[in-house]
């Protein structure tokens, strides 16, 4: 199942010129070949913004249907939110062709104009932030407060890259020959293909698309089939200003994050960090801690306080309920994986400290779970759970902890707590991950590079480095001076 989304990003003036050249005429603020555009809305559930719930794919400035459609479900209730265009290879090829045609003009748009468009998109997201958050909660189950936080996080990527668009500088090199000058130019790559996950259906789009548009690229987006409405809503609000964009391979493929607590750590700080790192979005983020390694001298105290914090601070429920901190998992397969990891661990000697089974609210809800006496032969130590499961492994030495942490083929994020300055430097350098949280459980920031090592992906997103993924260097040798 796939829904195509093509952003053609340009100013209103460039959009009109490009579309008139293709024989298209404006109708009620949209563009179509002499007819009103296709505007298929889903009849949204109570409280959801029907004007933003689009069901068709967005290609070439138009909303287009597909031959088939697939259902999008509310993971909390199982109710169908709507049916979305199921795009296949023909629709994907059409989107890429449209994006390439747009790239031929968009690459020549000034940095100032690209900056202005991204800033306008940011403003529109802020204006519609409450409606966009409701869509995230409806289709992903994420608690509404977390969804509201994601929308602000998403919008800030557009704000950041609207500023970075004006700071894409080249270089001048002075070679040995005095009559020559060497120039280095940064130029947009072309069409970028963006495939985004369901757990951050808004932020993972703006973090990629914002950088691509700022660089002068155009973009084809394939959102997750579990959460397509968020992506389509972003296209809808941008369309009211101008429209459309994405290609090179920059991939973030998830992680299996270790969370290490050394004997010198402040236990209360470590527990607070563990709560933030593990249970955000019910454990369904790529940087969630998946393996808790706790040194033997502090182990029992940490487990006790961690369990108390889970029981006191976490409330399972529908994401639209005010007190909810833990919503449903995205689907049945996600719940089954958590069950499988818990069952495997228990069969090999692990102990349930709290939780351990499906929640009484329904089939997609799972109790926040803490396991102790976990060993390295258990599935939860070797596979990313992607759910509310916190397995704790006791270790003896720093060398042992680092070896366990690095014994995986992925390396996105890692966390550790210590008050020993020398140890902090050693472990930060030795952890085989792209991002490290030292005495901190929340590390993502618009201004900082996001990405991993090993099989956790290629390239970086966000920060001043994120735009480099959509640029290529050109060397020009200027002689005869």
d(CA 191, CA 95): 10
**Predicted pLDDT of residue 15:** 34
**Predicted pLDDT of residue 61:** 75
**Predicted pLDDT of residue 156:** 97
302-312 confidence digits (pLDDT tens): 999 999 999 99
Bridge partners of residue 221, in order along the sequence:
5, 194
**Predicted pLDDT of residue 253:** 54
* Closest listed residue to residue 478, CA positions, set 180, 172, 178, 186: 180
312-371 confidence digits (pLDDT tens): 999 999 999 999 999 999 999 999 999 999 999 999 999 999 999 999 998 899 999 999
Q: Are 74 and 222 in contact (CB under 8 A)?
A: no
d(CA 118, CA 214): 8
50-88 confidence digits (pLDDT tens): 888 888 988 877 888 888 999 999 999 999 999 999 998
β-pairing, 25-27 vs 5-7, is unpaired
Instruction: Give the chain's residues under pLDDT 50.
Output: 8-39, 242-249, 251
**Predicted pLDDT of residue 185:** 75
Question: To which H or E segment does residue 347 belong?
Answer: helix 332-347
**Predicted pLDDT of residue 133:** 96
Catalytic residue positions?
A: 252, 286
* Closest listed residue to residue 107, CA positions, set 11, 213, 228: 213
**Predicted pLDDT of residue 46:** 60
* Closest listed residue to residue 461, CA positions, set 470, 472, 449: 449
Q: How many CB atoms lie within 10 A of CB 74?
A: 20
């Amino acid at each position: 199942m796939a829904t195509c989304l093509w952003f053609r990003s340009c100013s209103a003036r460039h959009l009109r010129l490009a579309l008139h050249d293709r024989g298209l005429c404006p109708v009620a603020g949209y563009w179509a070949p002499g007819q009103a555009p296709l505007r298929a809305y889903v009849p949204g559930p109570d409280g959801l913004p029907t004007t933003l719930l689009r069901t068709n794919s967005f290609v070439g400035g138009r909303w287009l249907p597909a031959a088939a459609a697939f259902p999008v479900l509310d993971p909390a209730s199982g109710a169908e939110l709507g049916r979305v265009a199921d795009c296949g290879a023909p629709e994907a090829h059409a989107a890429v062709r449209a994006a390439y045609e747009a790239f031929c003009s968009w690459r020549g748009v000034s940095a100032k104009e690209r900056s202005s468009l991204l800033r306008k998109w940011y403003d529109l997201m802020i204006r519609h932030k409450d409606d966009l958050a409701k869509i995230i909660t409806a289709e992903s189950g994420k608690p509404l407060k977390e969804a509201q936080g994601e929308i602000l996080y998403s919008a800030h990527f557009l704000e950041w890259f609207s500023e970075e668009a004006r700071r894409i500088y080249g270089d001048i090199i002075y070679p040995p020959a005095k009559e020559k000058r060497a120039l280095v130019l940064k130029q947009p790559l072309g069409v970028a293909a963006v495939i985004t996950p369901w757990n951050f259906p808004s932020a993972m789009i703006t973090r990629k698309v914002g950088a691509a548009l700022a660089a002068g690229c155009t973009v084809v987006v394939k959102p997750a089939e579990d959460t397509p409405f968020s992506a389509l809503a972003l296209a809808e609000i941008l369309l009211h200003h101008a429209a459309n964009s994405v290609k090179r391979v920059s991939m973030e493929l998830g992680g299996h994050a270790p969370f290490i607590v050394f004997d010198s750590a402040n236990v209360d700080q470590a527990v607070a960090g563990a709560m933030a790192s593990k249970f955000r979005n019910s454990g369904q983020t790529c940087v969630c801690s998946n393996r808790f390694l706790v040194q033997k001298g502090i182990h029992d105290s940490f487990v006790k306080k961690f369990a108390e914090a889970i029981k006191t601070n976490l409330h399972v429920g529908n994401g639209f309920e005010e007190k909810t901190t833990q919503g449903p998992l995205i689907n049945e397969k996600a719940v089954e994986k958590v069950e499988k990891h818990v069952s495997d661990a228990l069969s090999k000697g692990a102990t349930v400290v709290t939780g351990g089974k499906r929640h009484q609210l329904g089939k997609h809800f799972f109790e926040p779970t803490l396991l102790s006496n976990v060993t390295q032969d258990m599935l939860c130590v070797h596979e990313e759970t992607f759910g509310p499961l916190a397995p704790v492994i006791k270790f003896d030495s720093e060398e042992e902890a680092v070896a366990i942490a690095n014994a995986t083929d992925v390396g996105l994020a890692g966390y550790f707590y210590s008050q020993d300055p020398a140890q902090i430097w050693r472990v930060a350098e030795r952890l085989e991950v792209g991002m490290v949280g030292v005495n901190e459980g929340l590390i993502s920031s618009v201004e900082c590079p996001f990405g991993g090592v090993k099989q956790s992906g290629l390239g970086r997103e966000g920060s001043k480095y994120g735009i480099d993924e959509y640029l290529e260097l050109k060397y020009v040798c200027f002689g005869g001076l």
